[in-house]
Amino acid sequence: MIDIRDVSKSFTLHNQGSAVIRVMEGASLHVAPGECVALTGASGAGKSTLMRVIYGNYLAASGSVLVGGLDVVQAEPREILQLRREVLGYVSQFLRVVPRVPTVEVVAEPLLALGADPDAARARAEALLSRLNIPERLWKLSPTTFSGGEQQRVNIARGFAHAYPALLLDEPTASLDAANRAVVLELIEEAKARGAAIVGIFHDVEARARVCDRVVDVSAFTPGAAA
């Protein structure tokens, strides 16, 4: 489902004498349907960079990143947008929303964008919000004024609303209490059971051990690292 082959990535700092920083070379990773792979490695090793390359936010200098058969490195912007709508979800650490949109709409939006029946989309959103213990009185309000933990749970609900075949998870359990952390781990397990291919960054070691099938240390892809 996710097939990364020989990817390299460097950054050119145009405001600093065009200094070139090589951060990744020969990165390869295969994630099968139903599998969850955790990216590890010291701070600065390139975990977030690899996630952004998979999502198409950073363009790889070489190599291929196949997600559901589409090579993100070669794809047109509209193909990447379609991939993000239909195939590849991304649960980032922070919720970014348009102000004044009610929480239930924020969560239902990925389904509505796919043309789902509005009542069914809203019902799915409400079920997720209730599972993640967001009180019903908040569903009609914009999440912009919610607490950090509430926003993170809204973000997770939104990320799991559509049954994406592939998912990127950036510290999905960070700063959650034990009960909500358990719900998120269940959602991840359910996604795996329906065949989602998942790549994630989990600093929560217990969570990683429970839901991840494999760990890949991205330090191996640092330029100059022994193969």
Ligand X SMILES: Nc1ncnc2c1ncn2[C@@H]1O[C@H](COP(=O)(O)OP(=O)(O)OP(=O)(O)O)[C@@H](O)[C@H]1O
Point out which residues bind ligand X (CB under 6 A). Answer: 11, 21, 23, 41, 43-49
Residue with smaller CB distance to ligand X, 53 or 157: 53
Tokens of 60: 């790889």
Spell out the residues 6+ positions from residue 189 whose beta carbon is closer than 8 angstroms to its own: 211
Residue with smaller CB distance to ligand X, 106 or 207: 207
Q: Are 85 and 110 spatial neighbours (Cβ–Cβ below 8 Å)?
A: yes
Beta partners for 215? 38
Q: Are 155 and 91 spatial neighbours (Cβ–Cβ below 8 Å)?
A: yes
Q: CB of residue 16 vs ligand X: minimum separation in angstroms?
A: 10
Q: CB of residue 40 vs ligand X: minimum separation in angstroms?
A: 9
Q: CB of residue 186 vs ligand X: minimum separation in angstroms?
A: 26
Q: CB of residue 2 vs ligand X: minimum separation in angstroms?
A: 17
Q: Distance (Å, rounded) from C-alpha 112 to C-alpha 209?
A: 34
Residue with smaller CB distance to ligand X, 18 or 43: 43
Residue with smaller CB distance to ligand X, 49 or 151: 49
Q: Distance (Å, rounded) from C-alpha 203 to C-alpha 177?
A: 15
